[in-house]
Amino acid sequence: MRPPGTRTEPRRSLPIRKDDRFVVVALGGAEIISYGTLYYCVAGIAKEASRDLAVTEEWIFACFSFALFASAQMSLVAGRLMDRYGAGKTMRVASLAGGASLGLAAISWNAVVFTVALFGMQLASAFLFYEAAFVFLVQRDAIHAKQQIALLTLIVGLSSTLFWPLTSLSLTLISWRQLCWIYGGCNVLLALPLIQLALGRSSVKRRDQNKVCGQQGPSSSKLSDLVLITVGFSLTTFVFSAFLGQMIPILSSIGLDMEGAWVSALFGPSQVAVRLFASSFTERISPIQLTILSCVMLSAATFIITLTSHSLLGISIFIALLGFSSGLNSICRGSLPLSVFGQDGYGRRLGLITGFRLSAASFAPFFFSVIQNHYGIVVALASLAVCATGSTLSFAFVSVRSKREPGR
């Protein structure tokens, strides 16, 4: 039985209100700046920074990988802090910390100081990136959060499209240190005010809160669902990280060099396309069904590249399906935990899932490279197909359990 006065998330999402759109656009603008300045810029400045600091590019990227792993562990704490103090407050502090870390990178007098700055940037990102924004939207208005999450991912998807060329162009005009100063200022002078604007429009009446409750059931059942969802998202992120981290080498190893580079460009548009239609998807099917659809697409993509790796058409279909799956996955990471568990403790659960998910992603490219070098590209691709299938089964179990167990 459901507690009186509560209800589960509706099958059809309510229309996005004017204030909601303003909040999502402001938050999306802050997210674009955060992703662009704290994450995407690192690859752009690595070459000049390594030369200036007298280290190799590989050293810079190794430190960056360790910083990403530290960010994954910080996510375990970040979720609890967002539940306790509110995601809006923690995001404001993190914007200041991110800006300060970029400032430290700008004045770094040796590689050790630059490494400290990298860690500061990625630890701040645990309080700024997608999951933090999802918690912000759910804490603000859980009833409308599902559609807002879909719109947010569409907006933030522009970050790489904007900041990759912007960083490259800027480095032809100014030094990497000057660019770090500018990007640090963007966090403090642009992202922080945008977060404050979104927070200022977040005055949802108290009577509208706590209306989205998760599926009802014993705590042991919810724990099982949490384990299955964590495993599912960890496996999908592992596959995405392996493919995206090794995309060009993978395509080169199967005989596609220049053709592979052009075909891989389908990934971004595929993500954007599926997010454009995501609002209509979320009105027709539940988050668990949307998640399973994303995993089925990922499984299909891995099997296609394994079986038709020397076909240009097969590779094109693989890239498109990978983009579709990735675009839906970013939405499902926010909407599925809300649907299953409700908004109570949402940040803590999302932080736990994110911690394991990003930890898996941190060593996926290395794992794929080792398997490929020892057993060949086909075995390496088949191992990712197994992971993708495992993620589909994990979410399928969640769906079956929700239908079979009473009161859920």
Fold of domain 213-404 = Growth Hormone; Chain: A; (1.20.1250)
CB 195 within 8 A of CB 88: yes
Please tell me whether the overall predicted TM-score, pTM, comes out greater than 0.75 for this model: yes
pLDDT number for residue 246: 66
Average pLDDT over residues 38-62: 85
Task: Output the average pLDDT for the chain.
Answer: 82
Which pair of structure tokens corresponds to residue 350? 């999302």
* pLDDT confidence bin for 3, thresholds 50/70/90: very low
Average pLDDT over residues 358-380: 84
Residue 361 pLDDT > 80: yes
Of the candidates 385, 238, 367, the one whose C-alpha atom is nearest the C-alpha of residue 308 is: 385
Least Cα distance to 130 among 151, 162, 148, 156 occurs for 156
91: Cα separation from own chain's centroid: 16
DSSP 110: S
HSE, CB side, 13 Å, CA atoms: give it for residue 378. Answer: 4
What is the reported pLDDT for 352? 92
Domain with CATH 1.20.1250.20 in the chain: 10-208, 213-404
Beta bridge mates, 160: none
At 305, the amino acid letter reads I
pLDDT tens digit sequence for 84-112: 998 889 999 999 999 999 999 999 999 99
Which band of pLDDT confidence, cut at 50, 70 and 90, is reported for residue 396? very high
Mean pLDDT of 321-333: 90
Say how many CA atoms lie within 13 Å of 235 toward its Cβ.
27
CATH superfamily of 10-208: MFS general substrate transporter like domains (1.20.1250.20)
What is the model's pLDDT at position 13?
47
Query: What is the per-residue pLDDT for 257?
Result: 56
Q: HSE-up of 214 (CA within 13 Å, CB side)?
A: 23
pLDDT digits (tens, 9 = 90+) for 108-145: 999 999 999 999 999 999 999 888 999 999 988 878 78
Over pLDDT 70: what percentage of the chain?
A: 83
Instruction: Supply the pLDDT for residue 30.
Output: 93
